[in-house]
């Protein structure tokens, strides 16, 4: 059975307390987790955070493709004690470090029960200083995904407007809540037409979660459906690098500020009406029901 460690809320701005461990997950596959993880890692690093990204999608992991690097060793070697973190962590050309998991990690999961605890311990032992460890997980409710999700400081659930993505995300949130009722779950609406669609997706999901699971989600933000994302994936380059002014990049910048709990300020249109002002105030609020 999977068990969760007590979720000690860490301060993302203080590396001395140990890195903040964030898992990126979803109910349905193909909703944009890897794209979000890689680009968010890069944007967080631009906000002066030392970031390590772990590719924990042990079946279809492709963070390495996005970075254009092929690692020789994996997290398994660290958890078995045969390699040190320093020996296996790959530096990417973008200032973010990268560590792959691979399928062999499942043997360790069986023995250790909770992989996140092992990761946290490994990082303590080696005293490697990261501000944030971002884990790109596989989709869906499975032992391997949950092993990387439970026990993290924050769980980001990526949802698209597709009905099956919404229902599968709810199923995922339900399971997370069952194992870890104090989990900080942030929802990110991806591939939306406009911000209103993303916000209404969040409010609907949060309402159901409030009603049936008696908990609240944190609003991460909305990412537009953006053809420049697709073009970057085809070019095997993160969109943040290829098209730094893309709409999706601006959206992810806002989400990063929310992750770091920095003030979020969106410019008002010149003739901003009353509703624009209300929206701006909403954007500056922490919408999480729990202390984020």
Q: Return residues touching ligand ATP (CB under 6 A).
A: 26, 29-35, 57, 60, 139, 190-191, 223, 225-226, 229-230, 233, 248
- The least CB distance from residue 271 to ligand ATP, in Å, is 29
For binding to Mg ion (CB under 5 A), which residues are involved? Answer: 33-34, 57
**What sign has the CA pseudo-torsion 279, 204, 215, 133?**
negative
- The least CB distance from residue 240 to ligand ATP, in Å, is 12
- Structure-block tokens of residue 199: 């916000």
Between 161 and 289, CB nearer to ligand ATP = 161
The CA–CA distances, whole Å, from 262 to 44, 120, 129, 217, 222 equal 12, 25, 21, 18, 17
- The least CB distance from residue 134 to ligand ATP, in Å, is 13
- The least CB distance from residue 17 to ligand ATP, in Å, is 29
What does the alpha-carbon distance between residue 190 and residue 286 come to, in Å, rounded to a whole number?
A: 19
Question: Which partner, ligand ATP, Mg ion, none, binds residue 154 by CB below 5 to 8 Å per kind?
Answer: none
Question: Which partner, Mg ion, ligand ATP, none, binds residue 92 by CB below 5 to 8 Å per kind?
Answer: none
Between 201 and 233, CB nearer to ligand ATP = 233
Q: How many CA atoms lie within 13 A of 292 on its CB side?
A: 22
* Ordered alpha helix ranges (H), 47-162: 63-67, 75-79, 85-88, 105-112, 115-126, 143-149
Question: Which partner, Mg ion, ligand ATP, none, binds residue 264 by CB below 5 to 8 Å per kind?
Answer: none
The CA–CA distances, whole Å, from 227 to 20, 28, 200 equal 32, 21, 23
Question: Which partner, Mg ion, ligand ATP, none, binds residue 223 by CB below 5 to 8 Å per kind?
Answer: ligand ATP
Between 32 and 100, CB nearer to ligand ATP = 32
Give φ, ψ of 162 to 5 degrees.
-60, 125
Between 29 and 244, CB nearer to ligand ATP = 29
Q: How many CA atoms lie within 13 A of 18 on its CB side?
A: 16
- The least CB distance from residue 32 to ligand ATP, in Å, is 3
């Amino acid at each position: 059975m999977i068990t969760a460690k007590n979720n000690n809320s860490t301060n993302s701005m203080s590396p001395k307390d140990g890195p903040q461990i964030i898992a990126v997950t979803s109910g349905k596959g193909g909703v944009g987790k890897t794209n979000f993880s890689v680009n968010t890692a890069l944007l967080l690093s631009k906000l002066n955070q030392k970031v390590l990204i772990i590719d924990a999608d042990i079946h279809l992991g492709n963070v390495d493709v996005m970075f254009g690097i092929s690692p020789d060793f994996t997290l398994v070697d660290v958890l078995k004690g045969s390699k040190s973190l320093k020996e296996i962590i790959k530096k990417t050309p973008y200032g973010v470090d990268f560590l792959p998991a691979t399928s062999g990690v499942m043997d360790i999961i069986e023995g250790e029960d909770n992989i996140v605890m092992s990761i946290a311990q490994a990082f303590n032992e080696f005293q490697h200083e990261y501000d944030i460890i971002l884990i790109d997980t596989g989709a869906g409710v499975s032992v391997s995904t949950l092993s990387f999700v439970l026990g993290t400081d924050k769980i980001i659930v990526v949802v698209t407007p597709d009905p099956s993505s919404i229902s599968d995300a709810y199923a995922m949130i339900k399971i997370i809540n069952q194992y870890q009722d104090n989990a900080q779950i942030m929802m990110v609406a991806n591939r939306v037409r406009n911000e209103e669609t993303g916000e209404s997706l969040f409010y609907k999901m949060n309402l159901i979660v409030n009603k049936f699971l008696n908990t609240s989600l944190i609003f991460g933000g909305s990412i537009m459906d953006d053809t420049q994302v697709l073009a970057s994936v085809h070019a095997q380059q993160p969109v943040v690098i290829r098209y730094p002014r893309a709409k999706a990049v601006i959206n992810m910048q806002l989400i990063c500020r929310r992750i770091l709990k920095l003030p979020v300020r969106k410019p008002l249109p010149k003739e901003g009406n009353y509703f624009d002002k209300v929206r701006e105030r909403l954007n500056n609020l922490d919408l999480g029901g729990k202390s984020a």
